[in-house]
Amino acid sequence: MTTALSTTAAKAPQAGVDLLRIVRINEEIKSVVNVAFKINIMALNAIFLAKRAGVAARGFGVLSNELRVFSQDLRDCMSSLTSLVHGCVNDVSLMLQDIRHTRLLRHAAEMTNGTRMAEVLARRERENERHAASLASQRKQLKRALEDAFRMVELGGVLAKSAKIEAAYGQSFAVPLSQVSSEFDGIVEEIRASLESLRHSAFFAGR
Amino acid sequence: MKTTKTIFQDGDHKWIAIVRDPEKPNYLIDTNEYLVAHGGQGLLLDPGGAEVFPAVFSALSSEFDPSALAGIFASHQDPDICSSLALWLEFNPGMRCYVSWLWSSFIPHFGGNADTFVSLPDEGADISLNGLPLQAVPAHYLHSSGNFNLYDKTAKVLFSGDIGAALLPPGEDGLFVENFDRHIRHAEGFHRRWMGSNEAKRRWCERVAQMEIDMLCPQHGAIYQGADVQRFINWFDGLQVGVVNG
Ligand SMILES: [Fe+2]
Ligand SMILES: [Fe+2]
């Protein structure tokens, strides 16, 4: 019983730290969502620019369209990440509550004789395990969704780099087109770096 | 661990006070919990905060089978009254909680679900504990705006919640009031500041003065018995409440 008590006590700071980490992940995802929205507007501008440039920027126009689709896909992907993060926040909060209840029930059990309390504790432990298992599964799903997002953004990076090359064929529009494509590239790189750091969050370590 | 003291007994009809925990940290206000038992069933009055649950639970278990608790009576919504609710429900999921209708959607933040709560109307209600008639007596605005005492006319005991509460210094924390004048000094500041309405106080004093009460049992401090009950009512009647400096 003493061992289990200390295990429960050790879990409390872990759950608190998890909550902090998951909140940071959420903040990072929010900033990626903002940036993804920016790409959409940039892509629209780029499409108009390519139309004005005409035949010379046809390739660029196609890529801008692709980037617009990419920004939409990215936003969809981020909204599913957001709901997974919310699921994790919920489960970590439940675990924090479990930890407090378990601590108090254990303390009561230590001070009391009787089998009924042991049953109640066992039921509480089963509930704790259920919440922990749910968190583990959400954590795994979040990790997988982040990997998917990362691969998608790498593809976006290829698009942005191709747009840079295409911009060079834009004749009199080469300068504004390459400016736009550089901005694309910069932003996609920013998102890539964000997701890269999220993939390595300590929240995913060890479990 | 807290101490239990049987303050009334007639066969299996009992009032047990659960009081004073030497291990309780000082930053938590000291509380008294009471169990009314009758015919093998129990009603726990103001079961206390979550942090004191282990001490209350273990003390109660020494006297009474906690799985025979039929319900909890919450005089009002404060955390020192019933933030332990979720823990009691873990032990006894079917248990009911009697509380003012005013708080019946607030207290579930401490635990329980739609089936847990029995809302008490402002005018009060009769509660039967395995045939023992108990009465939820209105004491609104003293201090909570939805506030009840619990009266057991058979035992002549009134559980008065925060009314009559005293913050007793160590060494003067006996279970019963021994010297009224000395005791009441520790109750005065509390009543002036926590009790909000002179009008409500007057109505409460008139109401309880007509009741037969051998013991008036507050949620903090010491129990008034015998002549001290009327002494307390008279004192409270004369006190100006709802006073704050600043
Ligand atoms: Fe209170
Ligand atoms: Fe209180």
Pick from A101, A113, A114: CB nearest B90: A101
Q: With helix as H, strand as E and coil as C, how does chain B read? A: CCEEEEEEEECCEEEEEEECCCCCCCCCCCCCEEEEEECCEEEEECCCCHHHHHHHHHHHHCCCCHHHEEEEECCCCCHHHHCCHHHHHHHCCCCEEEEEHHHCCCHHHHCCCCCCEEEECCCCEEEEECCEEEEEEECCCCCCCCCEEEEECCCCEEEEECCCCCCCCCCCCCCECCCHHHHHHHHHHHHHHHCCCHHHHHHHHHHHHCCCCCEEEECCCCEEECHHHHHHHHHHHHCCCCCCCC
Q: How many Å lie between the alpha carbon of B14 and the closest alpha carbon of chain A?
A: 21
* Res A173: pLDDT: 85
Using the beta-carbon criterion (under 8 Å), do B87 and A107 form an inter-chain contact?
no
- Judge whether B54 and B83 are in contact, CB under 8 Å: no
How much is the pTM? 0.83
* Res A11: pLDDT: 60
What is the distance in A from the centroid of ligand 1 to the CA of B144? 7
How crowded is residue A105: how many other Cβ atoms within 10 Å of its Cβ?
23
What is the distance in A from the centroid of ligand 1 to the CA of B45? 13
Q: Which residues contact B179 (CB under 8 A, 6 or more apart)?
A: none
- Chain A residues with CB inside 8 Å of B1's CB? 111
Counting the structural domains of chain A, the total is 1
Chain B residue whose CA is closest to A105:
B54
Chain A residue whose CA is closest to B50:
A104
What is the distance in A from the centroid of ligand 2 to the CA of A100? 23
If one compares B152 and B26, the residue with the highest pLDDT of the two is B152
pLDDT tens for each residue of B42-76: 999 999 999 999 999 989 988 998 889 999 999 99
Q: Does A5 touch chain B (CB under 8 A)?
A: no
* Nearest-angstrom CA–CA distance, B207 and A197: 68
Q: How many Å lie between the alpha carbon of B100 and the closest alpha carbon of chain A?
A: 26
What is the distance in A from the centroid of ligand 1 to the CA of B59? 22
Domains annotated on chain B, with CATH: 1-121 (3.60.15.10), 150-241 (3.60.15.10)
pLDDT tens for each residue of B93-108: 999 999 999 999 999 9
What's the mean per-residue pLDDT of chain B?
A: 96
Q: Which domain holds residue A28?
A: 2-205
Using the beta-carbon criterion (under 8 Å), do A120 and B61 form an inter-chain contact?
no
The rounded percent of chain B whose pLDDT value lies above 90 is 91
Would the pLDDT of B208 be above 80? yes
Ligand nearest to the CA of B195: 1
Match 């006319």 to its residue by tokens.
B153
Would the pLDDT of B92 be above 50? yes
Q: How many Å lie between the alpha carbon of B99 and the closest alpha carbon of chain A?
A: 23
Average pLDDT over residues B120-143: 98
Q: How many CB pairs under 8 A join A and B?
A: 40
Report the CATH number that the domain containing residue A75 is assigned in CATH. 1.20.1270
* Res A3: pLDDT: 42
Q: What's the average pLDDT block by block, 10 residues per block, for chain A (207 residues)?
A: 46 77 87 84 88 86 89 89 89 90 93 86 94 93 93 92 88 87 91 91 77
* Nearest-angstrom CA–CA distance, B12 and B123: 30
* Res B88: pLDDT: 95
* Nearest-angstrom CA–CA distance, B148 and B137: 5
Return the structure tokens found at B151.
């009266």
Ligand nearest to the CA of B33: 2
pLDDT band at B132 (very low <50, low <70, confident <90, very high): very high
